[in-house]
């Protein structure tokens, strides 16, 4: 398709590059000072806090259901890993650190390293589900379980929630089905927890979903329905089937407030971890967060949570595959999710199966349009190279989980530098903190991961 025929390309010339599948950084022209965004928002900090409280109420239940959560008393959280920690283990005096390697991989000539402190947020190791989806997916299943139990007199708010594990409650839950459309990881987080609580679970998989993700779910007794269509169509089919049956609860990744709030709790958790590390975040100590983005729920929710806590001091960038930049085009065309990636002639073909989404969530767009600092895109080639760099440092991350690694490189380019100037923070960058959010990978079977690494090392 000739991208010049795209009318909005003349409004935003950079969209033409997007349509050609080239990596770009687009700074968000709709970003507003935080205090001007809170008026009229349907959600606020109280909602984030309430979600955190609900997770706390369920912590004993989760610890009982999943033995790996016992040492952490039912709290599903990941480590914040300083780059220094990995370097000292692996580098042993070699001159090229992780940051340098990531920048080289990202195609940035790394003469000028970005300044500041660097961390990985290790959501690829989130317990139970092995991806960022553990935050939102598990939370939504818990919301539904709590609601059902309260409405049916099986639980009172002041009760010990371990009551929910009684055979009588499990038998009651077994009458209900929790359904979801997924590229894989959301299905895993919803399916495993739904089954553990006693529900039936159905996952509608898009054609991108990996075989091992389907097998894992089937081993846990989840019904996997495979669709030949893409993610949006799989969600739509799941939604339609669920609508016919009052005993089916559908987790709608394109419009779920519950998923969004589950993700947002990450903000509170990260703040506590940064404080433990002695990291200050304020106007002259900016925090940069680079988040892999599919339909937008996970990065959107996390951004929302962080903005409530840090306001203008936090700068959140969304990272998408060059062939699946649905949030990028939604934000930059001015057309929201009315525009799909197919309208630009893109294919959705990417090794980042978890980010292979052609149309953004309208709920997320409504909530974060004025909060996101910008979007950038990454090629499959970059993702594989990042994968190899991290594997060398003992981190097992799937391609989807690595898109954020291109972030620091983009800050060094012209558009990134202009952003820093526009925000008045170019001179504080030596006091900046950067978080590369790794979002999935620890459940990838070993042979599959080995083939990723081999693929990455091929020229």
The residues binding ligand PLP (CB under 6 A) are 131-133, 185, 292-299, 354-355, 357, 400-401, 439-440
Name the residue nearer to ligand PLP (CB basis): 200 or 439: 439
For 334, other C-beta atoms within 10 Å of its C-beta total: 14
What is the sign, positive or negative, of the torsion defined by CA atoms of 331, 26, 185, 73? Answer: negative
Q: Shortest gap between Cβ of 305 and ligand PLP (angstroms)?
A: 14
d(CA 73, CA 46): 24
Name the residue nearer to ligand PLP (CB basis): 198 or 300: 300
Name the residue nearer to ligand PLP (CB basis): 180 or 420: 180
Q: Shortest gap between Cβ of 331 and ligand PLP (angstroms)?
A: 13
Name the residue nearer to ligand PLP (CB basis): 281 or 302: 302
Name the residue nearer to ligand PLP (CB basis): 62 or 190: 190
Name the residue nearer to ligand PLP (CB basis): 87 or 398: 398
Phi and psi at residue 278, to the nearest 5°: 75, 25
65 and 128 Cβ atoms separated by less than 8 Å:
no
Tokens describing residue 194: 């739904």
Q: Shortest gap between Cβ of 326 and ligand PLP (angstroms)?
A: 9
Say which DSSP state 178 is in.
E
H/E run at residue 17? helix 14-19
d(CA 186, CA 189): 5
Kindly provide the b/e burial profile for residues 434-448, where b requires at least 16 CB atoms within 10 angstroms of the residue's own CB: bbbbbbbbbbbeeee
Q: Shortest gap between Cβ of 400 and ligand PLP (angstroms)?
A: 4
Name the residue nearer to ligand PLP (CB basis): 23 or 116: 23
135 and 265 Cβ atoms separated by less than 8 Å:
yes
Tokens describing residue 376: 């950038």
Q: Shortest gap between Cβ of 111 and ligand PLP (angstroms)?
A: 31
Residue 339: which of 321, 352, 323, 358 has the closest Cα? 358
Q: Shortest gap between Cβ of 301 and ligand PLP (angstroms)?
A: 8
Residue 222: which of 168, 141, 132 has the closest Cα? 141
Q: How far apart are the first and last CA of the chain?
A: 29
Name the residue nearer to ligand PLP (CB basis): 116 or 296: 296
Q: Shortest gap between Cβ of 426 and ligand PLP (angstroms)?
A: 30
Q: Shortest gap between Cβ of 324 and ligand PLP (angstroms)?
A: 10
Contacts of 281 (CB under 8 A, 6+ apart): 274, 287, 310, 313, 314, 433
């Amino acid at each position: 398709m000739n991208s010049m025929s795209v009318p909005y390309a003349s409004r935003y010339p950079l969209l033409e590059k997007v349509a050609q599948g080239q990596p770009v950084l687009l700074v968000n022209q709709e970003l507003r000072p935080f205090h001007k965004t809170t008026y009229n928002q349907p959600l606020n900090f109280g909602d984030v806090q309430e979600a955190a409280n609900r997770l706390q109420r369920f912590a004993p239940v989760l610890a009982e259901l999943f033995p790996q959560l016992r040492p952490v008393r039912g709290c599903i959280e990941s480590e914040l890993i300083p780059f220094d920690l990995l370097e000292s283990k692996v580098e042993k005096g070699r001159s090229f650190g992780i940051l340098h390697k990531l920048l080289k991989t990202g195609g940035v000539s790394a003469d000028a390293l970005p300044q500041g402190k660097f961390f990985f947020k290790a959501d690829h190791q989130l317990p139970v589900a092995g991806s960022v989806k553990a935050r939102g997916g598990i939370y939504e299943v818990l919301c539904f379980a709590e609601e059902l139990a309260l409405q049916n007199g099986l639980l009172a708010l002041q009760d010990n929630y371990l009551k929910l594990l009684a055979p009588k409650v499990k038998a009651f839950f077994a009458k209900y089905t929790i359904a979801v459309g997924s590229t894989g990881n959301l299905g895993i987080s919803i399916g495993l927890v739904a089954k553990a609580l006693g529900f039936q679970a159905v996952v509608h998989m898009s054609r991108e979903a990996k075989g091992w993700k389907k097998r894992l779910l089937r081993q846990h007794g989840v019904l996997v329905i495979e669709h030949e269509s893409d993610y949006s169509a799989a969600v739509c089919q799941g939604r339609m089937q669920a609508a016919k049956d009052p005993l089916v609860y559908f987790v709608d990744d394109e419009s779920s407030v519950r998923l969004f709030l589950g993700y947002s709790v990450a903000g509170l958790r990260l703040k506590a971890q940064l404080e433990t590390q002695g990291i200050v975040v304020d106007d002259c100590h900016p925090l940069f967060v680079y988040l892999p983005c599919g339909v937008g729920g996970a990065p959107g929710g996390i951004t929302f949570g962080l903005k409530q806590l840090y306001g203008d001091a936090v700068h959140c960038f969304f990272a998408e595959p060059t062939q699946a930049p649905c949030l990028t085009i939604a934000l930059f065309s001015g057309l929201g999710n009315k525009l799909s990636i197919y309208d630009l002639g893109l294919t959705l073909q990417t090794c980042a199966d978890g980010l292979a989404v052609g149309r953004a969530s309208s709920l997320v767009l409504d909530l974060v349009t004025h909060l996101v600092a910008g979007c950038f895109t990454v090629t499959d080639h970059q993702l594989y190279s990042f994968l190899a760099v991290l594997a060398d440092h003992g981190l097992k991350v799937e391609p989807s989980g690595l898109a954020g690694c291109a972030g620091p490189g983009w800050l060094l380019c012209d558009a990134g530098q202009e952003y820093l100037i526009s925000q008045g923070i170019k001179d504080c960058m030596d006091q900046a903190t950067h978080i590369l959010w790794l979002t999935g990978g620890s459940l990838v079977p070993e042979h599959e991961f080995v083939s990723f690494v081999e693929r990455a090392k091929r020229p």
